[in-house]
Structure 1
Amino acid sequence: MYRWNSIHCPIAQSVPPAFPTQPPGDAGEGAVLAERQAQRTEPPRLFQVLMLNDDFTPMEFVVMVLQEYFRHDLDSATLIMLKIHHEGRGVCGVFSKDVAATKVELVSQAARRAGHPLQCIMEPA
């Protein structure tokens, strides 16, 4: 079996190593290391997505939206829908600000496409 290696390949002999151990021209003297500053990061602020009751949107549509956009199973979606129906609003989920805003927009678009006045809002959790 014939082996192809750097002896038979002049290009491989002239290629510098991929990760040099020292920067060129630096013998390790006078090198300055960057110090890591202590940073305190806070977790992102959470927002709850709320669905508001109206007299026109069918309960089945609300359950479907809760299942499709908020990943609730049929039982939990039905419980949330009943809470929305009886109390006027219900929490669909708690998310970071960007995710909550996206879900509000997706639900609003789905309701408009279906011809329903369903409203979805977000507020700090």
Structure 2
Amino acid sequence: MAKEQSSIRERQRIDLREPRRYKVTIYNDDFTTMEFVVKILVEVFFKSETEAETLMLQVHHSDKAVVGIYSYDVATSKVHKATSMARDAGYPLRLTVEPEGRD
């Protein structure tokens, strides 16, 4: 008598979740020029000129604005690049990375 092979496989449950997203917030200060903020928003965060100016005015009037929501690595990379550009230009511009949904 031949041995039968079973075609039943044990299923493993794989719990896949979408990676957590992080928001990048830019803060107002009395020293960084509006033009420099627009430059950062265009060059680092790839905003259009119009969108960058709108965000810059929001930062100026509200003291802060969310400039984008990214994966953790992308968010920290953009904050590092923008902060480095600001320090090289002599500005104390501040940006933070926080988990999305946290207010």
Structure 1 position 34, deviation (Å)? 7.3
Answer yes or no: is 1:103 the counterpart of 2:78: yes
Count of residues paired in the alignment: 97
Of 48, 51, 58, which aligns to 2:26? 51
Aligned to 2:55: 80
For residue 113 of structure 1, what is the aligned residue in structure 2? 88
Amino acid at match of 2:42: Q
TM-score relative to the length of structure 2 = 0.85
User: RCO greater where, 1 or 2, for CA within 8 Å and sep 6 or more?
Assistant: 2
Q: How much does 1:38 deviate?
A: 2.1
For residues 68 and 80 of structure 1, what CA distance do their matches in structure 2 show? 14
Structure 1: 4+ residue segments shifted above 4 A: 33-36
Q: 63, 67, 90: which is aligned to 2:42?
A: 67
Deviation at 1:103, TM superposition (A): 0.9
Q: What's the TM-score once normalised by structure 1's chain length?
A: 0.71
Offset of 1:122 from its aligned partner? 1.0
**Amino-acid identity (%):** 43
Tell me the CA shift for residue 124 of structure 1.
1.3
Amino acid at match of 2:50: D
Unaligned runs of 5+ in 2: none
- Aligned alpha-carbon RMSD (Å): 1.9
SS at match of 2:40: helix
Look at both structures and tell me which one has the larger radius of gyration over its CA atoms. Answer: 1
